[in-house]
Chain A
Amino acid sequence: MAKKIELSLDGVTATAVLHEQEAPKTAQKVWDALPIDETLRHVRWSGSAGYILAPALRDPSFPLENRVSYYIPLTLNLKPEHGEVAISYGPAQARDGTGNGWATHFATLEGDATAFLEAVARAQHEGKKQLVIKRKES
């Protein structure tokens, strides 16, 4: 049975499925790092997404898996060189000041995550929020 994680932001909770087949090393690294409790901010270069910087996930030598440049809404994407997890709620891409980049798509929100994505989007205009990610026990 697929491992799931629970994300809580601004009083809203959502569940995501880890992609253990497509991104096995990253999924395991994230799972081992939980719980994660970090500040979520809105991205400045990447469009419609919020991000956290998780020191436990930072490893510049860690390989990319299930590689993406564009972030599809509902997806969780890791840039291991920064330990950056981006959660997209609309058009978004792994970018920085130098141009386009890559990330590992390691999990996807399931069910109706509308309220959660709205909370992520609000970070642009309301400022930083605290994001907690923990294992979802079945």
Chain B
Amino acid sequence: MARRIQVEVDGVSAIAELCDDLSPKTAEAFWQTLPIETTLAPAKWSGSACYFRPGGEHLKTVTANEAPVASIYPGYIVTRPSGSEALIAYGASEYRWAVGTDYTTRVAHLVDRGSELLKVLARTHDEGDKRIKITRAQ
């Protein structure tokens, strides 16, 4: 059974499963980084998504993408190599920079109570930054 994490923003929480099969090194490093509690900000190049800095040392050791993707489907959490940033999409999203499209690694995807959380993420477009808390699910 896939490992599960709890994602909470603005008092709304949802459950996500780690992408252990697709991205075993990144998923493990992300798991070891938990708990994460930091600022969640709206993305400005990647469409309907928010980003945060996971922090910690574990993700720094994963320096290459695993099963790379450019499109970020709603409810997916992705990270960049070395864990410089992570994104969660709430609508149409593609990982982009000023110079164009780039690749990311899927870390987890929402599996339970995700729709309510996506509504909260969408509100960042109007309301700006929020706090995000990610923990290992019990």
Residue numbers of A with Cβ under 8 A of B are 41-48, 91, 93, 95, 97, 123-128
Is there a chain A Cβ closer than 8 Å to B10's Cβ? no
Contacts of B49 in A (CB 8 A): 44
Residue numbers of B with Cβ under 8 A of A are 41-49, 92, 94, 96, 98, 124-129
Q: Is the interface of A mostly helix, strand, loop or mixed?
A: mixed
Q: Cβ of B44 and Cβ of A43 under 8 Å apart? A: yes
Q: How far is the CA of A42 from the CA of B41 in the complex (A)?
A: 11
Nearest-Cβ distance from residue A51 to partner chain B, whole angstroms: 11
Contacts of B46 in A (CB 8 A): 44-45
Contacts of A45 in B (CB 8 A): 45-47, 96
Q: Cβ of A128 and Cβ of B45 under 8 Å apart? A: no
- Please judge, given known A-B contacts A97-B47, A124-B44, A125-B41, whether A41 and B126 are in contact too, CB under 8 Å: yes
Q: Cβ of A44 and Cβ of B41 under 8 Å apart? A: no
Q: Cβ of A47 and Cβ of B44 under 8 Å apart? A: yes
Q: Cβ of A91 and Cβ of B98 under 8 Å apart? A: yes
Q: Cβ of B96 and Cβ of A44 under 8 Å apart? A: no
Q: Cβ of A97 and Cβ of B92 under 8 Å apart? A: yes
Nearest-Cβ distance from residue A91 to partner chain B, whole angstroms: 5
Contacts of B94 in A (CB 8 A): 97
Q: How far is the CA of A53 from the CA of B36 in the complex (A)?
A: 36
Contacts of A42 in B (CB 8 A): 42, 44, 125
A-B contact pairs, 11 of them (CB 8 A): A42-B42, A44-B43, A45-B96, A46-B44, A47-B98, A48-B44, A97-B92, A97-B94, A124-B128, A128-B126, A128-B127
Contacts of B129 in A (CB 8 A): 125-126
Q: How far is the CA of A127 from the CA of B41 in the complex (A)?
A: 10
Contacts of B47 in A (CB 8 A): 44-45, 97
Nearest-Cβ distance from residue B95 to partner chain A, whole angstroms: 12
Q: How far is the CA of A127 from the CA of B49 in the complex (A)?
A: 15
Instruction: Please provide the 9 A-B residue pairs with the shortest distance between their CB atoms, ordered closest to farther.
Output: A127-B128, A127-B127, A126-B128, A91-B98, A125-B129, A97-B92, A128-B126, A125-B128, A44-B47
